[in-house]
Structures are given as C-alpha cells and as structure tokens.
Structure 1
C-alpha cells in the first residue's frame, strides 16, 4: 500500500470517528440538575398543600416522586459534597458545612466532571457546591454566583472562605426575614433563573449535550422574598407545629440550640422565642419556597419552549430537611427524620409520568442513577445504588434501609422505623433513640428502652455496625 493511500485511509477513519462521536453525543440526554437549599417535603405534590409550589408539583406530575428520599448528612456543605462525589460521609469525612470535596477527597471524580469528560458542557449556576471553588475542573465555564445591587438586606451570601464563622459563632449582621415590594431579580435566585434561561437558549442553538446545574438558595435563611410571595399566605392561618417539645425519652444528644437561626439579629441568642415571631418565621419559610418555586417555573417553561424538554432528564433534590419548631428545634443539624427526609423528583423523557414510589433511596444513589440514565460508565468509587429501575417499576422490592449521620450520631432508616446511636471518641455508645414511624411519624416518643423492642434494637444496631465497618474500609483514590 502506498503512502498516499495510507494517508487517505487515515483521514477517512479520523473523520469517520469524529462523525461517530458527534452523532453519539447528539443522542445523549441532557441533564437539568436542580438543587434546592433547606427544602423539606412540605409541598403540594407530597400531599401538603399549605405551601404553594405549583411548578414543583407540575414537575412531579411529569415523572417519578420519591416519598422516602433521605440525605446522608444534614448540613449543606457535607451533603452536597457527598452527593456530588458519590461517597458517603463518615466520622472524619464530610462532617460539617464548610468542608471541601477537593481537600477531603482529592482525586475523586465528581459527578459534573464525569459528565464533562464524556462530552457534556457543564455549567454551575448558584449554590451547587457549598464551598467555592470546589471540584475544580468540573465545569466548562467558571461557576456563576451572582451579586445583587439590592440595597436592602441581601442576607446570607456564600463566602469564598469561612469568613462567616467568627470565634466559633456565625457572624451574620441582619434580620432573619425581609419582604420588600420589589421584583424577583433583586435576590440571587431570580438572577440565577434568568441566567439559566439564557443558557437553555444557548443550548438550543448549539445542540451540544449539557449538564446544567441550577442551585436555588431559598428557602435557606434569611427568609427573604418579595412581598408578593408573602401575600400568597394569610398570616392568621399560619400554625405552629403540635409537637413543640423534646420527644419523650429522647437523649440530650438529639437536641441542639439551633445556632444557625440564633445568629440573626432579631433572634435571641438563648431561650425561647415569641409565638408570633415563630409564626412569622414559618410564614417567611412558606414565602421563600413559593419564591423559589416561581424561579424554577421560569426555567422549566424555557425548557419546554425551547423543545429541549424532549431530551432532558430533570432531577430536583433538596440537600436536607429542616425543622420549623418541631421538638422546639429550628434548622437542621440533628438526626430526626424531619431533617433527614428530603424531596426528590426525577423526570425522564419517554418514561412513565405522575408516579410515586415508597422505595428507600439516599443521596449517594443520585450519581449512579444519572450515569445509568445517560448511558455513562459508573466510576468504581461510587457507594450508592442506581434507582433508575424504579422508573419503570416503582413498587418493586428495594433497599431494606438507608443510612445517615450527624457528628457522633449514626442513623438507620427502614420502612417502619428510625434508629440512632451516638458514640464517643472511643467508639463507645453513649445514647440511642428509636421511633416507630407507622405509629409515631412525628417521632414524639422514643421507644428504644421498651422491653418489647429489644430484639429490634439488636437487629438495627448490628446493621449500623456492619454499615460503619463496610463504609469506613472502602478504598478510595
């Protein structure tokens, strides 16, 4: 064979390969990855219509809603780093809000990096990782985190470093809520939604497969939302929870002083709050959810208008739950079910719509699920299980339990119970609590010391021990 013929064969093979790659990428589904901060499953699609969330509810109608989704650690930074790395938190990894995936798991392939490596254009808008920058190299363009010109109280803004923490305390100089008569874009979520719409218009023109991560800040404190969203609710109808007391028999380890909320200037550093003020906080939380929901609606509307919805997987998740006065607690940072339970919705083009599942799933399952749905290989380090099969068969047998942890507390959640054990630095158990969710869904009575539950305690304790052993001995890069 002459050099001339060899040259043309090489050129033919090269362009054939390029064409094959481009056609393969065109067939890849896009991913719209929506993270919501501090969102609990108190939404219309979860059978709780007191909060007006029409766009989330509509999204749920287009796909699969998970009734039993749980975070693996109830704090922003650790929860997000765990989810985006596909690696579980443990006693020394992903412990609090201000951790970095790059620092704690250097070399581990992040979810967006994996999509980027497989030809996707990856974009981060708003709060995806808590600490910035993190998972460096995961995004095709620099992370977008807007700054507003709003002259009012902008509220909690993610720092480049841990400057909000001063002497072990939160350093926030402002009130816990605000209701200005102003447009949506004065706050970050409005600006993030506008930028997401711009990107969708761009993707419509380029045709490149995308992984668009949109991180809405609300309903994170402070509960700042334009007045029109506060006006959606009648303050006279805002109710305090029925269980504003420490659960009977609950150990002291289960409680905390909700320092995150107490950092705001209108909240006392210690002691109880006035009932009317607590009702105002709940009002603000509701308004913040509706404000965020409206921003989500703008993004979903553009996804439909552009025609991209026909080939775009949409997943919406909350990074953890939140207390609104239950057990006299506010915020997250504990092991109660209200804080571990998260909303999760998955919409896949061409699949069943308006379905629900009671299967137990957890945040580390999201990474392998998106890999399977996009037909990407699953990195070896992933510690979760893809729940993609639930789309076609939502009632099939699934996990017997999921696991979450907070500081020294290790929690197992089954279909019927939640059980938590606390350990000291020597690994010795110091306390425990057990709740029967079928009889006591609000976890008001700790039944861990009742004789008839001894066998169940032994069983659940053994499962926690086995889980810790397996989790902590997995080799990571």
Structure 2
C-alpha cells in the first residue's frame, strides 16, 4: 500500500456559493457537505473569476487566469491544447488519474492528462456533437449506459426540459439512472478497480445543479412548498433591460411568475440535496476501501447561478449569485472546522493539490496554494481578485477584495460599486455616491493596471476606453489565445 496521499475532487456545475446549510442558507440543506466542512476548511469568499463552464474549468485544470489561458468568455468547439494540467502533473508524479462525469472540453474525449475518462456532459456534448453531425452516444459514456439500462431509444432529454431552462420537473426515470447517480457510482467503481499500489487522483464531476432542473421526485417535493425569501432586486436592473426576453425560458435576463420561479428554485435546491446524498455515498466508499484517512478532498463548483436575483438567471455575470462558489478542502493534517474569509479562486486549486501531493508546481501556474490556510494559517492570499467575462457583446470586468466590488462594462463604460459588508446582495450601486468617490477611484486604477497591455485596448494605462471590440481571444475557433499568449505557452 502506498503512503502517498490520495486526492478526490468533487466538482459540481452552477452551484451558488451561498447554497450550503453550513453557510447559513435559509432553505437548502446539505448535511453531508456540512460534515465535510467540519473536517476541514470552508472558504467563504471563493470565486469563479470567469463564471461559465469553459473558462472556469480551464482555470481549474491549468491554474491560470482567463487572460493567460485565453478563454475570457464561453465558446464551444475550440480545442483544449494545454500541455500542463493538474491531472497531467499528478500522472507524472505517479498517480493513477481518473475523471468521471462532466469535462466540457473539445474535442470531447480530450483527456487533459487523465489516464482515463468516463464522460457525461449533456450540456456540452449533446450540443457540440449535433453541431458536427455526430451521434452523442459516440462521445458520451452515460448515454450508452442509460440505453443498456432502459432500452436502445432511451435518452435523458425525452422529458423535454432543456439544459439551460428555468423550467423544472422531477426526473422521469428510475432514480439509479439519474446522471448524478451515474457519476457517483462510476466514481465508486473506480475505487474498486484502482491499483492499490499507487495513490489516486479521482475527479468526480457532477452536471447538477445545472439545468435541466430534474432532480428525483422526493428531492423536488422537499422544496416545492418550503418558505423561500424573495430574490434580491437592485436599483440598477435597467442596465440589462434591453436583454430581457420573456418568451425564452433559457433567457439570462427575464422576469417570471411566482409559480415558475418557485418550481425553478425547488428543482435547483432539489438537485443540490440529491448531489449532497450521492457525495455521502461516495465518501462512505472511501471508508469502505480504507483510504479515507489518507485522502485530500476538495469540493468545488465551476460557477454559480443567478436563480432570479436581479431578474437574472444562469451565469457569466460578476454578481455574487453567478461568480461566488462553494469551496471546501479537507484531508490529512488540515485544521477541522476552519473558516477562511480570504478571497480565493479556481486557479488556486491546482497549486494547492500539487503541494498536498508533494509534486512540483509548474512555472505557468498563477494560482496560490491554500494549504497553509487549511492548516489554520492566516497569511493573505491576494489583495483582491480580478474577474472578467464576455456577455451581451461586451466584457464585464470586475474586482473584489470581499469587502467591496467594482464592475466596469466595456460597451458603455458604466460602473458599479457595491459595499459587500453591508449590502451582500448588491442591491445598491454606490458608483455615483460622493461619499464613495475615493473608493471608486482606487478600484478604477486597479482595473486599469490589470488591463494595461491587453490586446483589447480597454486602456492606455491612464484611463478606461469603453466601446472597444471584445477580446480577440474568441475571434476564431482554432486556438482561443492571442498571439503573445500562444507564443508564451508554447515555450
């Protein structure tokens, strides 16, 4: 038996940072993740700096910022040509590496350094496969498995609820065939099949609570009639009014009636409770195989979900519902029940886990190891976080130090400033408040510093220039990175 530590990353998709009962959420219950938090560190201000699936996952797997890995927005069908990845480094360090579930890479079977991938991703795989005239069953491992269970015509879409809609209904098939169960059981089977002479890196990646909002009946009903506070609405909703689309159930900006909103939230929270219980099953399997005490466990999401906040749904926004994520880390030698308020992000996971494994951190990695914090240390990670994402034909740029947040909209030059200490739901824009003028100037100068030298030309180093074209990083579909970054990464 190896004495090297094992690593288990539990990743979810579109899980808000406030949706843990350990974090005080008034509705959702996550008793098993709460137990995991009690064994290690819960980060209260973890963020997805580019909060949609593709750029967020690129940061997780490469340890780099969006500006460096080149994906500053969402774009399918762009090859993932990263030579240095978390899984690749752990494979080189002697780990047996296995991914199960959602990857959202291209080509779809790209391994990113994993020795083996059991793939399921209805959001990415079905859309991109059909765009290319492919049968999704040729690239997705879940669909052939589902057809073995239920017959050759079975699909996970025949209940009609699509993968970005706020429409919700319970899962229409036996619970053991749900994608959440598939990921958990396939991950557990890896623990049975693995080589016990090697340490393992297991990446179990759930699609939930990302739509479709189709949890099992019991999980949906658990929240359907539960008391729920109204979603927050800010004094700045009109900034996005032109993008409202009330006829589109997948719209990012829309207002829906109380019944539809309640069902959407019940479906979302139901997914969370279902995942929580399947994670409990998987953690019990660690105990069953006698490896729990020597395993580092990281629970993380790629981004959040607006879920009706400020009349918005989905992700990509700089606001807390979209950008803030849950992050839990536990394992050997880590301080139990620790809560950290440091501002951290997805690119910090790679150096943290490499340090836990005793493996070197490549020079390309820009994140910071959080291992000292998980042992109870208090050394600051960063002064503030810079985030960005292309939305509605413009770049939404934002900065936060956990106490306040600054947002700049590249198309119009509009600014937002929020006092997160006293207004955590970002309802009041302080950008025009004279009492906050000095704070606004400070944050604007920081953004100028972050954007100086970038290809977009958003600044000359002295002032911000709105109305510039969006990043050339997404202008073509062969390599997302601008020339200078491509040259640097190919060294």
Residue 122 (structure 1) shift: 0.9
Which range moves more in the overlay, 110-119 or 271-280?
A: 271-280
- Aligned counterparts, 1:87-98, within 5 A: 87-90=64-67, 93-98=70-75
> Unmatched 5+ residue regions in structure 2?
134-156, 162-166, 456-483
Q: Quick one: distance in 2 between partners of 1:322 and 1:353? A: 29
Contact 1:125–1:214 under 8 Å retained in 2: yes
Residue 294 (structure 1) shift: 1.4
Once the two structures are superposed, what CA deviation does each residue of 1:242-295 show, in whole Å capped at 9, x if it has no partner? 42x3x21467259854899724xxxx8996322111111111111111111111
Out of 230, 236, 245, the residue aligned to residue 220 of structure 2 is 230
Contact 1:323–1:332 under 8 Å retained in 2: yes
Residue 316 (structure 1) shift: 0.6
1:184 aligns with 2:161: no
- Aligned counterparts, 1:315-330, within 5 A: 315-330=298-313
1:363 aligns with 2:341: no
Out of 103, 120, 124, the residue aligned to residue 95 of structure 2 is 120
Corresponding residue for residue 464 of structure 2 = none
Please tell me whether Structure 1 or Structure 2 has the larger radius of gyration of its CA atoms: 1
Corresponding residue for residue 281 of structure 1 = 264
Once the two structures are superposed, what CA deviation does each residue of 1:295-336 show, in whole Å capped at 9, x if it has no partner? 111111101121111211100101111112110111112111
1:297 aligns with 2:274: no
* TM-score normalized with structure 1 length: 0.82
Which range moves more in the overlay, 328-337 or 277-286?
A: 328-337
Corresponding residue for residue 193 of structure 2 = 202
Corresponding residue for residue 410 of structure 1 = 397
- Secondary structure of 1:404's counterpart equals strand
Residue 240 (structure 1) shift: 5.0
1:158 aligns with 2:125: yes
Once the two structures are superposed, what CA deviation does each residue of 1:195-247 show, in whole Å capped at 9, x if it has no partner? 111111223x62311111000111110111111212333x332425242x3x2
* TM-score normalized with structure 2 length: 0.79
- Cα distance, 1:100–1:86 mapped onto 2, change above 3 Å: farther
Q: Quick one: distance in 1 between partners of 2:385 and 2:318? A: 13
- Secondary structure of 2:66's counterpart equals coil
Q: Quick one: distance in 2 between partners of 1:87 and 1:262? A: 34
Contact 1:70–1:362 under 8 Å retained in 2: yes
Contact 1:65–1:355 under 8 Å retained in 2: yes
Contact 1:113–1:138 under 8 Å retained in 2: yes
Corresponding residue for residue 68 of structure 1 = 45
1:440 aligns with 2:407: no
Out of 40, 46, 54, the residue aligned to residue 23 of structure 2 is 46
- Cα distance, 1:259–1:125 mapped onto 2, change above 3 Å: farther
Corresponding residue for residue 83 of structure 2 = 108
- Secondary structure of 1:359's counterpart equals strand
Number of corresponding residues: 426
- Cα distance, 1:100–1:62 mapped onto 2, change above 3 Å: farther
Q: Quick one: distance in 2 between partners of 1:403 and 1:284? A: 32
Q: Quick one: distance in 1 between partners of 2:286 and 2:406? A: 41
- Cα distance, 1:165–1:53 mapped onto 2, change above 3 Å: farther
Corresponding residue for residue 213 of structure 1 = 203
Contact 2:305–2:315 under 8 Å retained in 1: yes
Q: Quick one: distance in 2 between partners of 1:255 and 1:57? A: 40
Out of 416, 436, 445, the residue aligned to residue 453 of structure 1 is 436
Contact 2:295–2:331 under 8 Å retained in 1: yes
Contact 1:358–1:395 under 8 Å retained in 2: no
Q: Quick one: distance in 1 between partners of 2:189 and 2:350? A: 26
Out of 10, 14, 19, the residue aligned to residue 34 of structure 1 is 10
- Secondary structure of 1:322's counterpart equals coil
Q: Quick one: distance in 2 between partners of 1:178 and 1:248? A: 32
- Cα distance, 1:250–1:222 mapped onto 2, change above 3 Å: closer
Contact 1:322–1:330 under 8 Å retained in 2: yes
- Cα distance, 1:70–1:269 mapped onto 2, change above 3 Å: closer
- Aligned counterparts, 1:123-138, within 5 A: 123-133=98-108, 135-136=110-111, 138=113
- Cα distance, 1:367–1:435 mapped onto 2, change above 3 Å: same
- Cα distance, 1:181–1:422 mapped onto 2, change above 3 Å: closer
Q: Quick one: distance in 1 between partners of 2:186 and 2:96? A: 15
- Secondary structure of 2:413's counterpart equals strand
- Cα distance, 1:201–1:321 mapped onto 2, change above 3 Å: same
- Cα distance, 1:146–1:114 mapped onto 2, change above 3 Å: same
- Secondary structure of 2:358's counterpart equals coil
> Unmatched 5+ residue regions in structure 1?
1-22, 148-154, 167-171
Q: Quick one: distance in 2 between partners of 1:211 and 1:164? A: 33
- Cα distance, 1:130–1:239 mapped onto 2, change above 3 Å: farther
